Amino acid sequence: MEPHTSKTTAKDFFLHLGVMATLYAGTIALLNLLFTVINVAYPQIDQYFFGVSSISFPVATLIVVFPLFLFLANTVRKSYEVDPSKKESAVRKWLMYITLFIAGAIITSDLITLIYYFLDGRELTAGFFLKILAVLVVSGSIFGYFMDDLRNRLTGSRRMIWRVVAAVLVLGSIVLGFVVIGSPQSQRLVRYDDQKINDLRMIQSQVVQYWQSKKAIPATLNDLRDPISGFTIPTDPQSQKEYSYRKTGDVSFELCAEFNLKTSSTEEKVRMQKSPVYYEGMIDENWAHEKGTACFQRTIDPDRYPPFSKPIF
């Protein structure tokens, strides 16, 4: 009698594909989360930012993908119990060997990078070591799990151990991210403060243009309204109130806003480097502030910002 072989159905194919897709998506999100946390906890001196250090997307991905991965993997496991021959399907073995190959290649590249940096005499910082360790632990766990699966060593207790390891990695990384970068509420407050700084910077730019056009400081913010250009005065995103503005001299003015958190000069530099329109000269423009009401005194230099020349007709 010929051994019974199970035909791979469309359901089997997409279940296996779903397991691998959620695994890859979760792995990328987990490493993204860990790298972001490491970059914030151990920033490099020569590191430039082109986006806000947010963990929202990788955390959201893990919250959705990780339980889905466990559900799909459990569904596949139950299908093996019903029909053990499905474990010999070509789809399963191809996907597992591809995953083992990718995990092995990443581990190898990780170790090569570590040895290369050491032999090349480069500075091995704590942040660098933590990134190497993160990649090694995550990729090594995936490699170890699938090696156990291929060798049929995944007993009930051993499978539970791997689940606990995965849960500790995912949940521990999410908690660590909130501890280092802040809770969703604190991130919301930071974004409010960032928006307020952007609004004040926009108002300041309009005041300078007003001075260059009319050779005078606007008496109130209403003077800046321009229906032709479409410029409207931004308001505080939290209170929806107008920002405080006061003319203090012929070429000076003051802008005030209510902030949720305190910043330092170093934090302001990092904040500005995260801006997509950052350039080195912007560091001279100090927007560091205390918690609560903060006012910024500005004086226009006529030599740097001369009035516009009027055309002669």
The percent of residues in the chain predicted with pLDDT above 90, rounded, is 47
Lowest mean pLDDT among 42-51, 65-74, 131-140: 42-51
Once rounded to an integer, what is the mean pLDDT over residues 166-187?
86
Average pLDDT, the chain: 83
Is a pLDDT exceeding 90 seen at residue 269? no
Lowest mean pLDDT among 77-81, 162-166, 168-172: 77-81
pLDDT at residue 283, rounded to an integer: 41
pLDDT at residue 256, rounded to an integer: 95
Q: How confident is the model at residue 195 (pLDDT cuts 50, 70, 90)?
A: very high
Once rounded to an integer, what is the mean pLDDT over residues 73-102?
89
What H or E segment, with its residue span, contains residue 268? helix 265-273
Query: Where exactly are the structural domains of the chain?
Result: 10-182, 186-299
Q: Tell me the per-residue pLDDT of 29-40, one tens digit each, with 9 for 90 and over.
A: 999 999 988 888
Q: At what angle do helices 56-82 and 156-181 cross, to 10 degrees?
A: 170
Is a pLDDT exceeding 50 seen at residue 231? yes
Is a pLDDT exceeding 50 seen at residue 48? no
How far apart are alpha carbons 25 and 141 in whole angstroms?
A: 15
Of residues 26 and 5, more confidently modeled: 26
How far apart are alpha carbons 55 and 180 in whole angstroms?
A: 10
pLDDT at residue 276, rounded to an integer: 38
Once rounded to an integer, what is the mean pLDDT over residues 159-167?
92
Is a pLDDT exceeding 70 seen at residue 61? yes
Question: DSSP E strands: which ranges in the chain?
Answer: 244-247, 252-259, 292-299
How far apart are alpha carbons 249 and 143 in whole angstroms?
A: 68
Lowest mean pLDDT among 157-161, 231-235, 270-274: 270-274
pLDDT at residue 230, rounded to an integer: 78
pLDDT at residue 310, rounded to an integer: 57
